[in-house]
Chains A and B, each alone.
Chain A
Amino acid sequence: MDAATLSSVLQGGIVLGALYALMATGLSLVWTTLGIFNFAHGAFIALGAYIAWQFSSVDAWGLPLFPAILLTLAVMFAVGALMYFLLVKPFERRADVVLISVITTLAASAILENGLLLIWGPRSKQIPSLGSGEVALGQISLATSEIILLALVLAILLGLGLFLRYARPGRIMRAVSQNREAAELLGLNVPLYFAIAFGLSAATAGLAGVFVGTIRFMNPEMGTEPLMKALIVVIFGGVARFSSPLYAAFIIGMLEAFSIYVLGLYWAPAVLFITMIVVLLLKPEGLFGNHQRTL
C-alpha cells in the first residue's frame, strides 16, 4: 500500500468513524437514559435526510444548506420527543417494556420508511454538498466537504458531551438515567427528560442522515445499513456510557475502510460482525463499557 492509498483509506475510515459516532451516540443516548434500543433510529436517519432535502434542495424550498440543517435538527428533535410519548411512554412502567419497545420502534421504522416513500417517492435524491474543492496538506489532499463534516461532527459531539456534563438539563438527564425513582422523589419530571433524550437522539440521527445524504444518494431505506453499523459500534464500544461508542466508532470506521480495501466491499460487513461477536465473547460489556449503564 503506497502513501497515497493509505491516506485515502485513512480518510475514508475517519469520515465513516465520524458518521458512526454520530449515529451511535444517539442510539446510546436512548439506551443509557431509557434502557431500550430504538430500532426506528435508522428511519430517523432517513427522515432527517429527506427533511433537509425538502428545506435545501432547489427542487423543493431551496433554503441555504446550513439554515436548512438547523431547521432539520429542530424538526427531528420534535419528532423524537413525539415518538417517545407515542411509542415508549405508554409502556414504560411495564416489566416487558424492553420487548414491547422493540416492537413499537420497529413498527415506527416501517411506518416512517413507507411514509417517506409515499411523500417523496422512490426516485433517489441528494442533498447539496457541504463544501466544494479540496484542501492540500503536503502531499495529502482532503475534500473540503469531508473536513467540514468532520469538524461539525466533532463540534456537535463535544457540545453534547459538555451539555450532559455541565448544563442543568444535562446533569438532570444523567440523574434520571441513573435512578428514576430517586429522580421523581427529587421533583424531576422524568418523562420530560426522557422526551428530551429521545429528541436529542433523533436530532443526532437526523444530522447523520443529512451528512450521508450529502455524500450518497438517498432512499427511504438508507438508514437500515447505518443502523446496523451503529448497533455494532454501540455493542463493540459498550452500551454503558455515553462516551464509549465514540472511541468505538472510529475503530469500526477504520476497520471497515481497511476491510473494504483489503477484502472488498462485500466482506467488510462480515469482518465487522465477526469483530463484534469476538468482543461479545471476550468482553460482553464492550471494550470501553462497564456493567452499569449511565450517561
Chain B
Amino acid sequence: MTEPILSVRGMSKRFGGLQAVQDVSFDVTSGQIFGIAGPNGSGKSTLFNIITRVPFGANAGSVTLEGREMHRLRADAIALAGIGRTFQRENVFSALSAIDNVLVAVESQARALGFPQKVARAEKMLDLVGYPPTMHNMLAGNLPVYYRKLLMIASSLALKPRVLLMDEPASSLTGPEIDNMKEVILAIRGEGIAIVLIEHVLSLLMEVSDTLLVLDQGQVIAQGLPGDVIKDPEVVEAYLGGAYV
C-alpha cells in the first residue's frame, strides 16, 4: 500500500457545549484527490481550520505531513511545511494587485530568489490556474468571484504545497466556471500535489475524487470509493433525512 503523505489522527474540536469535530482520522496519498462531503454545519471547514491552525487549533488529535508532526507548529510554519489551503470565500489581499498577491506567497517561500525570478514564478502559478495575463495588474478586490478564487489558488500553489486543502472552490460559480474549476483541480493534481476537497457541488466532487469521506455532526459516517459512499444509507439519511432511506 502507498505511504500516506498526510495523516490526520483523532482530530477533535469543541466550542463550549458543541462538539464541532470528533475523532476524525484519514490518510491522503501522494497525487490523490480526497473528497470530503457533509451537510451544512457538519464540521468540514472546522476540520480544515484545525489542520491548518487558522484561525484556531484542535483540542485533540495529530497531523503529520510526510512523517513530520504539524500540530505543534504555528500556522505560517504549517503552510511553509507543505499544507496549503484555500477558503470558501475569496480570501485575497484586496488592495494588492493580482500579481502582488501571488508575489507575497512566492517571497515567503523562496526568499533567496532574485526579484525577476520571483515574478516569473508568480506568473507561472497564475498561468497554471488559467488566470489571464491581461489581468495581472488588476486590484484583487476589483476582480470577479471566479478570478479571485483562481488568485487564491495560485497564491497557495506558490508555496509549493505537498497537499492543498480546498474549501468549496466551486461555491458561487456559474456552470461553465465550475467546469473550468474542475480542470484547474485536475491540473493541480497533475503537478503531483495531493488535494483534500470540500465541495457542495456533488457532481464535481464525485467526478474528481478518488476517495470520499462524509462528515455528519462532526463525525465520520462513511469513507471509501465515491460511488459506494454515496449509496450508503447513513449518508443518504444525513443529506436527505430518514424518509428517503
Contacts and interface: CB of A to CB of B under 8 A. Distances in A.
A171 B104 CA distance: 7
B100 interface: yes
Contact of A185 (B56, B85, B95): B85
Interface in A162-195: 168, 171-172, 174-175, 178-179, 181-190
Contact of A175 (B85, B93, B159): B93
Contacts of A172: 104, 107-108
B185 to A, nearest CB: 18
A93 interface: yes
B109 interface: yes
B94 A93 contact: no
A164 to B, nearest CB: 11
A182 B77 CA distance: 13
Given A174-B93, A178-B94, A178-B96, A187 B55 contact: no
B156 interface: yes
A184 B54 contact: yes
Which size bracket describes the interface of A in this complex?
20 to 34
Interface string B83-103: 011010001111110001101
Given A93-B55, A179-B91, A179-B92, A186 B100 contact: no
Which size bracket describes the interface of B in this complex?
20 to 34
B93 A188 contact: no
A25 interface: no
B163 interface: no
B22 to A, nearest CB: 23
Contact of A168 (B76, B93, B107, B158): B107
Contacts of A93: 55-56
Interface of A: 93, 168, 171-172, 174-175, 178-179, 181-190, 292, 294-295
14 contacts: A168-B107, A171-B100, A174-B96, A179-B91, A181-B91, A182-B92, A182-B155, A185-B85, A185-B91, A186-B156, A187-B77, A187-B79, A187-B108, A295-B95
